[in-house]
Amino acid sequence: MPSFATREIAGRFADFGVGFSALASSSTVLFLCSGNYYRSRFAELLFNHLIVDTGLAFTADSAGLWPDCRLHNSGPISLDTIAALRARGVRLPAQHRIPRDVSESDIRSAAVTVALKEAEHRPLVARRFPALLQRIEFWHVHDVEDAPPSEAIPLIETNVRALIERLRELSNAEPRPGR
């Protein structure tokens, strides 16, 4: 039986429909935004950069909630995202993948799924994946039309770091064999 600390920390994720067993069985953190071009891509690449030094076995992925999200973008990834990641020393791939649409199986298989702006993304999730709405953790990060990258990027970074810390707490609270 999990310890009190494990149950308490897992309870923080349970508010988003994620149980301790889901965290134990999946290692994917999924970041969602509308177009999978700016906010979710920054969160994904920053998370994957920061998680390396923690010893945690999580990796991030990202996707867009708009159907055919790649058609809404002017390229594979925002130049603001690239600049912000470079400024933080994040190694970038030689070629960036095109934005991709989220699928039901992406959300179902993720240990944690985060949508970057509740007011914008909750209706999209409710319309496309109503049965999975409770599995989504919603943040409050504006898109570039509503806040400049100088405001949005630091907020995403703060939220990503806090998420990693919650995952670290959960990992440290897991029961050890023989205890």
Over pLDDT 90: what percentage of the chain? 69
Supply 133's token pair.
Answer: 């709405």
- pLDDT tens track for 13-50: 555 445 444 555 679 999 999 988 899 999 999 999 99
User: What pLDDT was estimated at residue 24?
Assistant: 54
Token pair in block for residue 13: 């994720």
| pLDDT top residue among 158 and 72 | 158
User: For 26-169, CATH number?
Assistant: 3.40.50.2300
* CA distances for 174 relative to 4, 89, 148, angstroms: 10, 31, 40
| Tokens of residue 135, six digits | 């599995």
- Domain-wise residue ranges, the chain: 26-169
**pLDDT score, position 10:** 52
